[in-house]
Amino acid sequence: MRSAAADASGTDYLESLPRKLVTVYLPLGVFLFVLLFPFYWMAMTTVKPNAELYDYKTYSPFWVVHPTLDHVKKLLFDTSYPSWLWNTVLVSVSSTAISLVASALAAYAIERLRFRGSRYVGMGIFLAYLVPPSILFIPLATMVFRLGLFDTRLALILTYPTFLVPFCTWLLMGYFRTIPYELEECALIDGATRWQILTRIVLPLAVPGLISAGIFAFTLSWNEFIYALTFVSSSEVKTVPVGVITELVEGDVYHWGSLMAGALLGSLPVAVLYSFFVEYYVSGLTGAVKE
């Protein structure tokens, strides 16, 4: 009985409170502080009236005395923020979906079809990811103009995959590599086609990988700035990152309250998405089938 109790407590005797405080809680606290402080600052600034925002002597910069929703009201009712948010959702979801389909097919082909030069194709895709968007946007702009897509949401939906596909393909290649060959070989023996193997065996096993690639792709397109800046002009098709800068910065006067409200509201959907899929996301990064 005694030994069972000792087994249950395991190595707990090593975990004294002060030790745990130093090795777990303190680093965790610092980590949380660093991660959450920007959100705290955004939230504080969102509800802080301008008089407090500019007066550090009378008011603490870290607290708000007379909270107000004026900045949020200005953001939601005096700017086109709701339509920017809708555009951002539409563009991010569409480009993520396109990229995931393309990447899943590409990654599977490179990893499993073993055609000649597949390694180099994989490497080439990775290299494509390294081309910075600040260089790529000029040739892309020419294509967007020639296709008559300038100033439309489609311009962004079709250009975002240029950086999403390489990234997702690379991520999924790594993920597919962790799925044992044996599963596919069994399916081949049972007479399954390549397409059946992909849709019935590999993709169901790769759901965590697809989710983590999807979250990454969604976040990247949600926050994208330079393509959104150059390929659309009209306020009604702008996305949040470009819209808030255009409407809430007047020369050297920054409407900090509304800017922070815009940033806060804009980051919430991504945060919610992460919280829903966090488990898949973690397992997506650590491999498919644990042996």
Partner 1 sequence: MSRITRRDFVKTSAGLAAGAALGKGLLIGEAHAADLSYKPEKGAKLRVLRWKRFVQGDEEQWLANTRKFTEKTGIEVRVDSEGWEDVRPKAAVAANVGSGPDVIIGWFDDPHQYPDKLHDLSELANYLGKKYGGWYDVCRTFGTRDGKWIALPLGVIGNLFCYRQSHARAAGFETFPADLSGFLKLCQGLKAKGTPAGLALGHAVGDGNDWVHWLVWSHGGKLVDEKGNVAINSPETIAALEYSRELYATFIPGTLSWQDPHNNKAFLDGQVSLTNNGISIYYACKNSQDPKLREMAADVGHGAWPVGPVGRRTEFMQVTQAMLFKYSKYPNAAKEYLRFMWEREQFDPWMQASIGYVTGPLKDQEKSTIWTADPKHTPYRDVAKGLLDNGYAYKLGAASAAAMADCILIDMVAAAASGSKTPKEAAAEAEKRAQRYYKI
**Which of 3, 11, 234, 275 touches partner 1 by CB under 8 A?**
234
Cβ proximity to partner 1: between 246 and 267 the closer is: 246
Q: Report the C-alpha gap between 277 and 2 in whole angstroms.
A: 42
Instruction: Give the residue with the Cβ less far from partner 1, 8 or 253.
Output: 253
Closer residue to partner 1 in complex, CB, 27/61: 61
Candidates 183, 226, 270, 285; binder of partner 1 (CB under 8 A) is 226
Closest-CA residue to 258 (of 271, 277, 244, 268):
244
**Which one, of 120, 123, 111, lies nearest residue 288 by Cα?**
111
Rounded Cα gap, residues 187 and 201, in angstroms: 8
Through-space distance between the first and last CA atoms of the chain, rounded to whole angstroms: 34
For partner 1, the closer of residues 217 and 260 by Cβ is 260
Tokens for 162, please give them.
């240029």
CB 239 within 8 A of CB 156: yes
Site string for partner 1, 153-192 (x = CB under 8 A): ----------------------------------------
Shortest distance (Å) from residue 142 CB to partner 1: 4
33 binds partner 1 (CB under 8 A): no
Q: Which of 278, 215, 240 is nearest to 90 (CA)?
A: 240
Q: DSSP label at 105?
A: H
Q: Quick check: 251 binds partner 1 (CB under 8 A)?
A: yes
Which stretch in 9-17, 118-126, 244-252, 263-271 sits in contact with partner 1 by CB under 8 A?
244-252
By CB under 8 A, residue 233 contacts partner 1: yes
Burial of 84 (0-12, 13-18, 19+ CB in 10 A): buried
Distance, in Å, from the CA atom of 261 to the CA atom of 265, rounded to the nearest integer, reads 6
Shortest Cβ 247–partner 1 spacing (Å): 7
Residue selected from 103, 158, 247, 261 as contacting partner 1 according to rule CB under 8 A: 247
Q: Using CB under 8 A, which residues numbered 39 to 68 contact partner 1?
A: 50-51, 54-57
Q: Coil, strand, or helix at residue 253?
A: strand
Q: Does 137 bind partner 1 (CB under 8 A)?
A: yes
Sequence length of the chain is 291
Residue type, 72: V
Residue (of 176, 177, 158, 164) closest to 221 by Cα position: 164
- Among 43, 229, 270, 285, which residue interacts with partner 1 (rule: CB under 8 A)? 229
Applying CB under 8 A, does 77 fall inside the site for partner 1?
no
For binding to partner 1 (CB under 8 A), which residues are involved? 50-51, 54-57, 137-138, 141-142, 145, 150, 226, 229-230, 233-235, 242, 245-247, 249-254
